[in-house]
């Protein structure tokens, strides 16, 4: 954490200096008439977007929520490793690690062949494979996550706070207007119930859940298989003689159904998903009148010979949801050539069964993708065409998630001997789970080649950092103070690009690159950084050397890597790294970096790898950035 760049300030370092206010927040405050971005809904998708935009007080952001306050319990609870990596960029991954349950092992239970009425453990799998991520897979109350995002928003320069008790009722886009073309009608759901208010926005993002009004307003429809499958979910405090209650468990009984056990934060609480009866095609789950007692009874039948003695049902729900997807995540009809003004994210445009534990994760990843793009457009760093890439990139991922979930279901329900996984001695349950680990960790996301993710021309220079996938962190040591750390943790949710320059055996190409990046008029650092900003305000360059820290001389390092910044021109000492010398691993080895030639890895603000280039590929680097960012020095695009 870097502090005091513009002068010493005591107190909580997470609370940033407030920017001049443009409006009051609170239940009695007047709503603004015009905003840059209006976000509908304070679920994970909406809050993840608001927390990013809140860092930019020059962007007028408003987030409305039809409920009166944050939720207190229930809903989703699984956070995969990829989302934890993203939380690191928001600054609260350590809080989550401290408070949450870590999923280390997943256990599998099936009917005991010698007594099929009883279940028996058939295997265990390490839940997060070694070095797939530096982060754990965790389980935590969704409401707590909301609060962490709310804190980030409130502590940001804009002090952004949700406007509760306002529901988005209608969204109209004037395609001919360029200034605040979206008219949003809000309905008061609080003390003045039913009163309406109109707010005009440049962009609207519907993060308003599966019944999204924003989606309906832009003509979006969720297609796919309706649920017809009800799941009972309960968070309980209970005693049990079931030995694996503090491990994630998938339990299949002979004839009573299936259960998923998810231990939760704090050591005592756990969640049970109980698969209930299949519903008839035209039947809604509400007609079945399920109660928490039904769930407890079903759980005891499925887990025989073990039993669960429930002391408190903290939260329970019947959760009926299918795999559904809209055709597009923005308001531009297929074939029309214009930039989008309205977007949907999260459950508003794709829903999933809780089995794979992805719903909340994918929702946040949607808006992590959209957030930096909105920042780029609204702060004039990039043309509004950039916003077209949101739907293009995220729709493909949502579709892939749904297809993978279907494939999993197909494997599980195939008759014995008819699945490709039946040839091994290991039950197909366990094999399919292992095969899917990268996917359930959120690590299989790969954006296809586009203006934002280059073709893999030079991929061989960094075989473990695949273009289109997230930058895979590894241990390093910071040269200036010999601190052991994760390289990926230098990335913050601040809409900046990063270039990680890995030095080859000969260090000269890296030194030459740094000199060019700092001074040459054709360098992207020069071209895309306004004159009144620090040199790393748009593109943050870091260097990594193959030597250990005592073999390098800090005093000889290029000035770009020791820049003077802020109002005092203080020197930044945190841009140069070397390999870990204390046994955690060699980043060059771990990530397949070419030791002879070195390379540059260009990483997008959402932590995905945009390009891998030789250290000498200056024209390629300039051309890549020129296709995304404006040339702010010459005034061109």
Is residue 263 a contact residue for ligand FAD (CB under 6 A)? no
**Which SS3 state, helix, strand or coil, does residue 304 take?**
coil
- Rounded to a whole number of angstroms, the minimum distance from the CB of residue 378 to ligand FAD is 22
**Which SS3 state, helix, strand or coil, does residue 33 take?**
coil
The C-alpha atoms of residue 614 and residue 599 are separated, in whole angstroms, by 5
The C-alpha atoms of residue 274 and residue 259 are separated, in whole angstroms, by 5
Is residue 44 a contact residue for ligand FAD (CB under 6 A)? yes
Partners of 330 in the beta sheet?
Answer: 343
Q: Is 473 exposed, middle or buried (0-12, 13-18, 19+ CB in 10 A)?
A: buried
Give the Å distances, CA to CA, from 380 to 373, 383, 528, 635, 637. Answer: 11, 7, 11, 11, 10
Is residue 40 a contact residue for ligand FAD (CB under 6 A)? yes
The C-alpha atoms of residue 194 and residue 549 are separated, in whole angstroms, by 65
Of 49-57, 63-71, 281-289, 303-311, the window that binds ligand FAD (rule: CB under 6 A) is 63-71
Place of tokens 């691993």: 585
Interface with ligand FAD (CB under 6 A), residue from 52, 55, 61, 66: 66
Contact 114, 517 (CB under 8 A): no
Considering beta carbons, is residue 354 or 598 the nearer one to ligand FAD?
Answer: 354
Q: How many residues bind ligand FAD (CB under 6 A)?
A: 31
- Rounded to a whole number of angstroms, the minimum distance from the CB of residue 344 to ligand FAD is 9
Q: DSSP for 570-616, please give it.
A: EEP--SEEE--SSSS--HHHHTTB-TTT-EEEEE-TTSBEEEEE-TT
CB atoms within 10 A of CB 5: 12
Question: Which of these, 179, 180, 197, lies nearest to 188 by C-alpha position?
Answer: 197
Is residue 165 a contact residue for ligand FAD (CB under 6 A)? no
Is residue 324 a contact residue for ligand FAD (CB under 6 A)? no
How open is the CA angle 572-575-579, to the nearest 5 degrees?
145
Is residue 346 a contact residue for ligand FAD (CB under 6 A)? yes
- Rounded to a whole number of angstroms, the minimum distance from the CB of residue 40 to ligand FAD is 5
Q: 522-561 mask for ligand FAD (x: CB under 6 A)?
A: ----------------------------------------
Is residue 208 a contact residue for ligand FAD (CB under 6 A)? yes
Of 27-35, 106-114, 276-284, 354-362, the window that binds ligand FAD (rule: CB under 6 A) is 354-362
Q: Max Cα separation, the chain? A: 78
Instruction: Provide the pairing of β-strand 475-478 with 350-351.
Output: unpaired
Tell me the CB-side half-sphere exposure of residue 538, using CA atoms within 13 A.
Answer: 26
Contact 249, 260 (CB under 8 A): yes
CB crowding 329-349: b at 16 or more within 10 Å, else e: bbbbeeeeeeebbbbbbbbbb
Of 51-59, 124-132, 356-364, 397-405, the window that binds ligand FAD (rule: CB under 6 A) is 356-364
Of 36-44, 94-102, 333-341, 426-434, the window that binds ligand FAD (rule: CB under 6 A) is 36-44
Of 59-67, 260-268, 501-509, 552-560, the window that binds ligand FAD (rule: CB under 6 A) is 59-67
Considering beta carbons, is residue 346 or 598 the nearer one to ligand FAD?
Answer: 346
Of 25-33, 358-366, 454-462, 594-602, the window that binds ligand FAD (rule: CB under 6 A) is 358-366
Q: 110-149 mask for ligand FAD (x: CB under 6 A)?
A: --------------------------------x-------
Token pair recorded at residue 508: 């000269």
Interface with ligand FAD (CB under 6 A), residue from 53, 64, 476, 499: 64
- Rounded to a whole number of angstroms, the minimum distance from the CB of residue 139 to ligand FAD is 11
- Rounded to a whole number of angstroms, the minimum distance from the CB of residue 285 to ligand FAD is 12
Interface with ligand FAD (CB under 6 A), residue from 111, 359, 475, 605: 359
Interface with ligand FAD (CB under 6 A), residue from 55, 61, 158, 213: 213
Is residue 473 a contact residue for ligand FAD (CB under 6 A)? no
- Which residues sit at the interface with ligand FAD, rule CB under 6 A? 40-46, 64-67, 75-76, 142, 167-168, 207-209, 213, 233, 317, 319, 346-348, 354, 357, 359-360, 363
């Amino acid at each position: 954490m870097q502090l005091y760049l513009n002068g010493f300030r005591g107190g909580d370092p997470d609370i940033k200096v407030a920017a001049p206010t443009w409006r009051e927040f609170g239940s009695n405050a007047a709503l603004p008439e015009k905003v840059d971005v209006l976000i509908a809904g304070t679920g994970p998708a909406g809050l993840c977007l608001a927390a990013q935009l809140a860092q930019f007080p020059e962007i007028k952001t408003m987030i409305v929520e039809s409920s009166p306050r944050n939720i207190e319990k229930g809903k989703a609870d699984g956070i995969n490793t990829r989302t934890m990596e993203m939380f690191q960029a928001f600054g609260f991954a350590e809080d989550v690690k401290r408070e949450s349950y870590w999923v280390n092992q997943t256990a599998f239970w099936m009917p005991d062949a010698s007594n099929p009425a009883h279940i028996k453990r058939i295997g265990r799998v390490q839940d997060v494979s070694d070095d797939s991520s530096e982060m754990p897979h965790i389980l935590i109350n969704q409401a707590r996550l909301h609060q962490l995002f709310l804190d980030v928003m409130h502590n940001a320069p804009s002090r952004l706070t949700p406007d509760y008790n306002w529901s988005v009722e209608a969204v109209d886009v004037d395609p001919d207007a360029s200034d605040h073309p979206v008219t949003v009608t809000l309905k008061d759901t609080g003390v003045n119930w039913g009163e309406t208010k109109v707010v005009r926005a440049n962009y609207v993002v519907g993060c308003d859940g599966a019944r999204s009004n924003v989606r309906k307003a832009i003509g979006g429809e969720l297609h796919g298989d309706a649920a017809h499958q009800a799941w009972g979910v309960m968070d309980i405090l209970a005693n049990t003689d079931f030995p694996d209650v503090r491990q994630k468990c998938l339990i299949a009984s002979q004839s009573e159904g299936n259960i998923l056990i998810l231990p939760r934060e704090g050591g005592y609480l756990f969640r049970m998903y109980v698969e209930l009866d299949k519903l008839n095609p035209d039947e809604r789950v509400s007609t079945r009148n399920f109660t928490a007692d039904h769930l407890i009874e079903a759980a005891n039948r499925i887990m025989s010979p073990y039993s669960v003695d429930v002391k408190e049902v903290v939260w329970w729900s019947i959760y009926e949801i299918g795999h559904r997807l809209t055709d597009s995540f923005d308001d531009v009809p297929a074939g029309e050539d214009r930039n989008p003004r309205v977007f949907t994210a999260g459950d508003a445009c794709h829903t999933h069964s809780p089995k794979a534990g992805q719903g909340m994760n994918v929702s946040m990843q949607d808006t992590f993708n959209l957030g930096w793009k909105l920042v780029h457009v609204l702060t004039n760093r990039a043309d509004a065409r950039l916003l077209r890439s949101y739907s293009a990139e995220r729709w493909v991922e949502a579709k892939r998630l749904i297809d993978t979930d279907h494939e999993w279901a197909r494997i599980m329900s195939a008759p014995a001997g008819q699945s490709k996984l039946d040839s091994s001695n290991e039950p197909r349950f366990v094999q399919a789970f292992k095969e899917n680990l990268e996917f359930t960790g959120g690590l299989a996301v790969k954006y296809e080649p586009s203006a934002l993710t280059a073709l893999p021309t030079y991929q061989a220079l960094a075989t473990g950092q695949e273009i289109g996938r997230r930058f895979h962190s590894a241990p390093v040591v910071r040269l200036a103070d010999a601190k052991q750390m994760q390289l990926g943790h230098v990335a913050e949710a601040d809409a900046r690009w990063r270039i990680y320059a890995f030095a080859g055996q000969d260090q000269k190409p890296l030194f030459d690159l740094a000199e060019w990046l700092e001074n040459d008029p054709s360098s992207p650092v020069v071209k895309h950084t306004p004159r009144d900003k620090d040199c790393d305000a748009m593109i943050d360059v870091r260097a990594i050397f193959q030597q250990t820290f005592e073999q390098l001389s800090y005093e000889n390092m290029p000035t770009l890597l020791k820049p003077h910044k802020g109002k005092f021109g203080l020197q930044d000492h945190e841009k140069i790294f070397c390999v870990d010398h204390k046994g955690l691993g060699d980043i060059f080895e771990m990530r397949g970096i070419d030791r002879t030639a070195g390379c540059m890895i260009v990483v997008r603000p959402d932590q995905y790898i945009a390009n891998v280039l030789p250290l000498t590929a200056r024209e390629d680097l300039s051309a890549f950035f020129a296709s995304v960012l404006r040339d702010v020095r010459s005034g061109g695009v």
